[in-house]
Chain A
Amino acid sequence: MTTGDWHIPPGLLERYLDGSLDPVGVMSVEAHLVRCARCRTAVPADGGWLATSWERIAAEVAAPAPPLTERLLHGAGVPGHLARLLAATPALSRAWAAAVAVALGFAVAAAHLAGHGFLAFLTLAPVLPTAGIALAYGRRIDPAHETYAATPMAGAPLLLVRSTAVLLTALALTALAVPLLPAATMPSVAWAWLLPALTTTSGCLALATRVPLPLAAVALGGGWVAVVTGVGAVTGDRTLPFRPGAQVLYGCAVALLTLVLYVRRHRLDPAEPR
């Protein structure tokens, strides 16, 4: 494309830049500018502004494009910085996420093979988030723990952000496995793991205000399995822990444990005097 020999004369450009140019002149300048490299170069550059502008771009360019999970969270209304923290967490324990998928696979297979096999699925699901939380936070687990322990988000805020990320991941993976369960499993039973999972998670965090987190996770995860099998053995009804009556109990427990967690949250700080 040619622009002919016409170029914006200096006086015209000046008036365009300071806003005093008449409308016909303005439109000519703009129409010409986009097609003429020579006249674009003639637009004076403010060196200081240009340097600052570039610094800001360099900062963004160095930053990686946010991953899909982060963009989805952000799109769902989660503030950008929190989305960042949440999305980074399951990646810290990728081995856990893989193990969850494998364990769920086995549980689904068991549900198809054995008559009461779906009980294995219901028993397993609440254990998964507690294991994930234990693997996502702590001095022994997290190589950067000491650095993060000296930031204002140390202790309860960081642990709760990571626990949320782990819980959501575990719940999502488990929910994805639900449709794979045998059709004979009633819809109400297929979701009977949800409240128990929230109970073990809130229980694990509440207990972590007193004992080290890995211990709390083992206690809640193991305790849950022991209670379910124990109740089944004693009463002879292995579905009892998943009946509506038990679900009401779990709901109350979640509320209570969350309250305990809130009241004692400062104890989650590694530097809280004992």
Chain B
Amino acid sequence: MKEKKYSNKKWFNTVRVAWFLAKRQIKGSNKSTTFLIVFIMTLTFLNLVVVSGILVGLIEGGNIANKEQYTGDVIITTVAGEPDISRTHEIESTLSKMQGIENISLRYIENGRVEANYKTRRDFSTLPDVVATQIAGIDTKAEDSLSNLSKYVVEGEYLSPNESGKILIGANLLRRYSAGFGDYFASLEGVYPGEEVKVTIDDRTKTFIVKGIVDTKVGEVSMRAFMTEEDFWRLVDRPGINANEIAVDLKPNSTISADRVKSNLVSVGFVNDGKIQTALEAIPDFLNQIKIAFSLLGNVIGLIGIVVASITIFIVIFINAVTRRKYIGIMKGIGISERAIEISYILQSIFYASAGGILGMIVVYALLVPFFLSHPLDFPFSDGILVAPIGETSFRFALLLLVTLVAGYIPARNIVKKNTLDSILGR
């Protein structure tokens, strides 16, 4: 027989033997049992990622919509107590000189009233059909480039530049769209494109033809009425021509960030002229709180899944090790180290968790994320998507591996540490 060559790489050798044993045990195991275990691990992984992903996605979908349809990447609003954003056009000029800015939309806003159905009102003892709302004067082209407002016109048409006497009504101002809100908000009966409405700001009233109905899940958009900038100034009597909102959009691959735009504006000295916020900062605090609460809830549900998965692996490895106790004893008897046998069981656990996790990843990224993007969950204030950032998903994958590794090790250790001869003789 050949002269023995002993490797000094003890650990490498131990892992090599463990790998050899684990591979053969997995290959030799019952295929349907293996499939079932992997299936359970896949479900566990999905439970871990998808439940919290959807809960967070309900809020995140709202945040994304808020950014895309309302705030843009940066929004400047009127400072509390001030009538408008002072030095609006200097800010606009500064922004337009910055690199990486794609669109800027100035919005002129006043509180006003919209009255409908006044022509058919017969009984003057009843209240008129009126809603109080914000009237926004916009540059139709700039606003559409920034917020794709025309895309959300669900009836009629979007405003054309320079046209006069036309108005867009937010769907939430109409009863047929806002019935779900019950009697919380006043709303107008009927009102279809082509019909006439009266718009009053302060004591000035003008009639407008409804050109379209705008429906989005962003409250600031669906609760407003929009007209051209020119019509706005015809209706409003206020000093100066400053705007009330400036929404700024960055180019898709812009090297400048929203934070940088904000800090540039601050450094130029516009800090007191308007309230400058990035889209993230403009998210109402309660939404962030809900997001945190949903995320926590998702994690709790996910943790329950992890516990179930670890118990599953524990039972699988325990039964496997118990039924193979005699062979474990024989292996120990012929000199295979306990560590190698334990690692072979750990490797089996890792195989089940990895296979389940990888399958879960494929399901999440190839199936569920695209599915929810094209078929968002219809939630009253958002279109819910599945939020599964690769970093977080990888962390959950690693967590699943770690838990199953421990769950595999404990029963293996329990069986392996038993007396060698007792194991061989089955006593």
A complexed with B: no
Q: Which B positions have Cβ atoms within 8 angstroms of A?
A: none
